[in-house]
């Protein structure tokens, strides 16, 4: 005789004809939960070897991992302990006060990088306090590459190098923000009012210092400053420097060159 049973949603349908005891056993079994098969090549779990030991140690997880891989942890740790500060000391402030150029590294939100040169008279980078510096932004070519990156990603790296006297460099890493000239002067009224060649800043980049450390002199070349000469009264584009690399008129993906 065929037996029919009402089946609740929590059970699978019993199959065929069976005794009451067998049916009770079948209905009491739950459907097993599928167990996911492990991947053939599991993703490696990379950990920062210093994460537990010193969470506030300078540097990225990547540099710590490579220090571990290449066996340079002791040298790196000695450098962190001896040379890396989270603020500017008096010697660093004095150094900044006599620098005439700086290399500024930025990147956008995708990590695409840009490196730019900023220059001016000695001390054009202003030290506001132990943890803040600022430098002026003037009217330029209108591209605003560095400022555009900062608007997406505030992390910046500044390198100042003395090529003339001490052959030494200073790294400043931190977070930047863009401040209009009038707004910054409202906070720091002692900002200079006289600028090189009469240029007036449109805005400033204010950097909160997170790391400050030395760039050793081993491979820094010695240079001799000379008077800057500019050929402004000429129609020679190359002498002006406006198209020194002959890029104008070269086809490129984002525009068509007119015949």
Domains of the chain (ranges; CATH) run 1-32 (no CATH), 58-84 (no CATH), 90-224 (2.30.110.10)
Q: How far is CA 48 from CA 6, 56, 65, 77, 200, in A?
A: 58, 12, 6, 14, 46
Q: How many residues does the chain have?
A: 259
- The most confident of 12-16, 174-178, 223-227, by mean pLDDT: 174-178
Query: Is the pLDDT assigned to residue 76 strictly greater than 50?
Result: yes
Cα(259)–Cα(252) distance, integer angstroms: 14
The residues pairing with 177 across neighbouring beta strands, listed in sequence order, are 206
Q: What DSSP state is assigned to residue 74?
A: H
Cα(88)–Cα(136) distance, integer angstroms: 19
pLDDT band for position 11 (50/70/90)?
A: very low
Q: Which two tokens stand for residue 18?
A: 């069976």
* Conformation bin of residue 18: beta by default, left when phi > 0, alpha when psi is -120 to 50: beta
pLDDT band for position 28 (50/70/90)?
A: very low
Query: Is the pLDDT assigned to residue 52 strictly greater than 80?
Result: no
Closest by alpha carbon to 199, among 133, 118, 96?
A: 118
Q: Which two tokens stand for residue 123?
A: 């001390």
Q: For 77-89, what is the mean pLDDT?
A: 96
Closest by alpha carbon to 149, among 113, 118, 104?
A: 113
Q: Which two tokens stand for residue 228?
A: 């800057």
pLDDT in tens, 144-183: 999 999 999 999 999 999 999 999 999 999 999 999 999 9
Q: Which two tokens stand for residue 173?
A: 């890493």
Q: Which two tokens stand for residue 160?
A: 């100042």
Q: Which residues of 161-198 are buried (b: 16+ CB within 10 A; e: fewer)?
A: bbbeeebebbbbbbebebbeeeebeeeeeeeeeeeeee
Cα(221)–Cα(140) distance, integer angstroms: 29
Contact (CB, 8 A) for 99 and 160: yes
Q: How far is CA 235 from CA 228, 245, 248, in A?
A: 19, 16, 15
What is the pLDDT at residue 13?
Answer: 46
Q: Which two tokens stand for residue 161?
A: 């190098």
Query: Is the pLDDT assigned to residue 3 strictly greater than 90?
Result: no
Cα(172)–Cα(163) distance, integer angstroms: 17
What is the pLDDT at residue 30?
Answer: 47
What is the pLDDT at residue 160?
Answer: 98
Q: For 131-151, what is the mean pLDDT?
A: 95
What is the pLDDT at residue 197?
Answer: 72
pLDDT in tens, 188-216: 999 988 777 778 899 999 999 999 999 99
What is the pLDDT at residue 150?
Answer: 98
For the chain, what is the mean pLDDT?
Answer: 82
Q: For 111-138, what is the mean pLDDT?
A: 95
């Amino acid at each position: 005789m065929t037996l029919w049973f009402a089946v609740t949603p929590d059970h699978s349908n019993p199959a065929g004809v069976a005794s009451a005891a067998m049916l009770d056993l079948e209905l009491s079994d739950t459907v097993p939960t599928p167990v996911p098969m492990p991947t053939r090549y599991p993703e490696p779990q990379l950990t920062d070897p210093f994460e537990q030991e010193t969470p506030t140690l300078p540097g990225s997880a990547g540099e710590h991992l490579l220090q571990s891989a290449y066996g340079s942890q002791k040298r790196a740790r000695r450098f962190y302990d001896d040379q890396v500060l989270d603020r500017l000391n008096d010697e660093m402030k004095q150094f900044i006060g006599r620098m005439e150029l700086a290399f500024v590294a930025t990147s956008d939100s995708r990590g695409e990088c840009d490196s730019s040169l900023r220059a001016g008279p000695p001390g054009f980078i202003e030290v506001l306090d132990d943890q803040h510096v600022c430098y002026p932004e003037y009217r330029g070519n209108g591209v605003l590459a560095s400022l555009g990156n900062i608007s997406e990603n505030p992390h910046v790296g500044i390198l100042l190098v003395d090529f003339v006297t001490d052959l030494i460099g200073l790294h400043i890493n931190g977070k930047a923000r863009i401040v209009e000239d009038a707004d910054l002067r409202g906070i720091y009224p002692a900002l200079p009012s006289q600028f090189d060649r009469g240029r007036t800043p449109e805005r400033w980049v204010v950097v909160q210092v997170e790391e400050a450390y030395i760039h050793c002199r081993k491979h820094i070349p010695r240079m001799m400053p000379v008077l800057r000469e500019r050929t402004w009264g000429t129609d020679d584009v190359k002498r002006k420097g406006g198209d020194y690399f002959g890029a104008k008129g070269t086809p490129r993906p984002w525009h068509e060159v007119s015949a």
